[in-house]
Amino acid sequence: MPFSNRLVSNLITLASVVFAGGFFAAALVRYSPGFDSIPEDLNPNISETTLRVLHERHARENSLVVFYGHYLAGAIQGDFGISQNLKQPVAELLRQRAPVTVRLILWGTAGGWLLGGLLAWTAAWTRRVAHGDVLEAAAFSISGFLLAIPPAVLALAFFFYQAPLALALSLALLPRLFGTMRVLLDDCWSSPALLTARSRGLAPMVIAVRYVLWATAPQLIALLGVALVLAFGLAIPIEALCDVPGLGALALQAATSRDMPLLCGMALVITFFVTFVHAAGDLAAGLTGKRA
């Protein structure tokens, strides 16, 4: 597919998915149990007539189509509304919390990428040396052990011992990258191009860059996009449980308080991030694949 067509297709997909994601998030919140209740229901001094008027106004202001139409029009202009629970602009809350989550995701992804690559190299390339089977089994055991530990439990252990939570995210991400990286390295090792390069006596660094990294660049770029999305998903429970002032804790707070403006803003941000990463990875992988 030509690059221009791929770009237009990804832009259309991005807009459609963000619109649909925000709408479905609003629908889930709007029709969740207990949404029609208001704080005034607990006040015995309010008459039934006043309560009925308040409930009618609450239902009118929170009609799904009307609410989302107004909300989306404001969001396009950068206005995500006012948080019903925190009484602050949602855009300001997102600006305050986003840098914390971004740092955690970037460091966690970098660590998971590095550790996953090293473990995959141990499993794929050392089987040809002495005791290679033992090293391969150890790599698979480490990956399986980390995969069996829930990310939230891993993060709590790091939190209690005051260890970096980014490292906990890296270890949670490692087994989710290990399998794909190992297959890529396995394929590179047995490729005719690499065997020819080894027979010609090329330097190991040249072989690693030209016949491994460059040859697998499209797959690695696509995997990087997947890793960022996985890291974002893993960061939410980590932040929520470890009281990190990021988007994860904000999402939990919005969900528990049924804060519709804040939940819709979070849904738009998360949906945009996931779709944008996938679109950017697809475009980058396509460009790299053409040059390879």
- Per-residue three-class SS string for the chain: CCHHHHHHHHHHHHHHHHHHHHHHHHHHHHCCCCCCCCHHHHCCCCCHHHHHHHHHHHHHHCCHHHHHHHHHHHHHCCCCCECCCCCCEHHHHHHHHHHHHHHHHHHHHHHHHHHHHHHHHHHHHHHHCCCHHHHHHHHHHHHHHHHHCCHHHHHHHHHHCCCCHHHHHHHHHHHHHHHHHHHHHHHHHCCHHHHHHHHCCCCHHHHHHHHHHCCCHHHHHHHHHHHHHHHHHHHHHHHHHCCCCCHHHHHHHHHHHCCHHHHHHHHHHHHHHHHHHHHHHHHHHHHHHHHC
Give residue 78's Cα distance to chain centre: 22
CB within 8 A of 243, min separation 6: which ones?
249
Query: Is residue 13 in some structural domain?
Result: no
Residue 8 belongs to a domain: no
User: What total of structural domains would you count in the chain?
Assistant: 1
Return the residue matching tokens 């919140």.
Answer: 29
Task: Answer whether residue 156 shows pLDDT above 80.
Answer: yes
Tokens found for residue 213: 């990294």
- Rounded CA gap, 263 and 275, in Å? 18
220-270 pLDDT tens trace? 877 888 888 888 888 888 888 888 888 888 888 887 777 777 877 887 788
Task: Indicate if the pLDDT at residue 144 is higher than 60.
Answer: yes
- The answer to whether residue 109 sits within a structural domain is yes
Considering only 21-30, 40-49, 74-83, 263-272, which range has the smallest mean pLDDT? 21-30
Query: Residue 47 domain-assigned?
Result: no
Query: Which CATH number does the domain housing residue 169 bear?
Result: 1.10.3720.10
Closest Cα to residue 110, out of 231, 238, 239, 246? 231
Question: Does some domain include residue 45?
Answer: no
Mean pLDDT of the chain: 78
The answer to the question of residue 19 being in a domain is no
Sequence-distant (≥ 6) Cβ neighbours of residue 155 within 8 angstroms: 165, 168, 169, 172, 237, 238, 241, 242
Highest mean pLDDT: which of 10-24, 124-138, 149-163? 149-163
Domain that residue 273 falls in: 90-291
The pLDDT of residue 197: 74
Average pLDDT over residues 110-132: 77
- What is the per-residue pLDDT for 28? 65
Does 107 score more than 90 pLDDT? Answer: yes
Mean pLDDT of 72-90: 78
Please provide residue 149's backbone torsions phi and psi, each rounded to the nearest 5 degrees. Answer: -90, 125
CA distance 40 to 45: 9
Residue 284 falls inside a structural domain: yes
**pLDDT of the residue at 110:** 92
> Residue 180 pLDDT more than 50?
yes
Residue 64 belongs to some domain of the structure: no
Whether the pLDDT of residue 216 is over 70: the answer is yes
Going by pLDDT thresholds of 50, 70 and 90, the confidence category of residue 129 is: low
Residue 261: what pLDDT? 77
Quickly state the pLDDT bin for 155 (edges 50, 70, 90). confident
Distance from CA of residue 69 to its chain's centroid?
27
What pLDDT, on a 0 to 100 scale, did the predictor assign at position 291?
47
Cα gap 269→250, rounded to integer Å: 12
